[in-house]
């Protein structure tokens, strides 16, 4: 079976194109995707059958050869660096938020917004 890389795939339109390792582009319809797969990413390697139709080559019976490349995972910080970020966040919470909360008050709006941005940023780093 031929192999290639997904050139592009549009989930909303239900089709895309594969650049075959043998050369040339092959039409990739939604119906050719394996069960449970609804989207493909550009650059993802696949194996597929080819059927010649009136409109040219068309991929059939697609099989995924590798997971799609993840930009987020490639940019993910190392665990020891995240450890330092979490430690710093805890220090900020202890110094800026906890004293006011112990006195029965909420932090002022400006401090609360900065701390919230910090917490959200650390959460995004952990979610990847």
Question: What CATH number is given to the structural domain containing 43?
Answer: 2.40.50.140
Residues 63 and 92 sit within 8 Å (Cβ to Cβ) = no
C-beta neighbour count of 4 within 10 angstroms? 24
Last residue in a domain, options 64, 91, 106: 64
Domain membership of residue 17 as a residue range: 3-64
CA atoms 90, 92, 95, 100: torsion sign: negative
The domain boundary, picked from 19, 39, 64, lies at: 64
Whether 95 and 123 map to the same domain: the answer is yes
Same domain, 104 and 60: no
| Number of domains comprising the chain | 2
In the chain, which residues have pLDDT < 50? none
Give me the pLDDT at residue 68, please: 57
CB distance 20 to 2 below 8 Å: yes
Reported in sequence order, the residue ranges of 1-128 that DSSP labels E, i.e. its strands, are 3-10, 15-20, 25-29, 45-53, 56-64
pLDDT value of position 82: 86
What is the predicted pLDDT for the residue at 51?
A: 92
Structure confidence by residue, pLDDT tens digits, 8-44: 999 999 999 999 998 889 999 999 998 888 888 888 9
DSSP 22: T
Statement to judge: residues 79 and 106 lie in one domain:
yes
């Amino acid at each position: 079976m031929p192999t290639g890389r997904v050139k592009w795939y549009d989930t909303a339109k239900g089709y895309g194109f594969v650049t075959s390792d043998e050369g040339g582009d092959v039409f990739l319809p939604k119906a050719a995707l394996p069960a449970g797969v609804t989207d493909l990413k550009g650059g993802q390697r696949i194996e597929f059958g080819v059927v010649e139709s009136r409109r040219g080559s068309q991929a059939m019976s697609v099989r995924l050869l590798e997971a799609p490349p993840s930009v987020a995972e490639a940019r993910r910080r190392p665990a020891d660096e995240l450890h330092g970020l979490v430690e710093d966040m805890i220090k900020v919470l202890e110094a800026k938020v906890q004293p006011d909360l112990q006195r029965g008050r909420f932090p002022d709006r400006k401090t609360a917004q900065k701390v919230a941005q910090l917490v959200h940023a650390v959460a995004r780093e952990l979610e990847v």
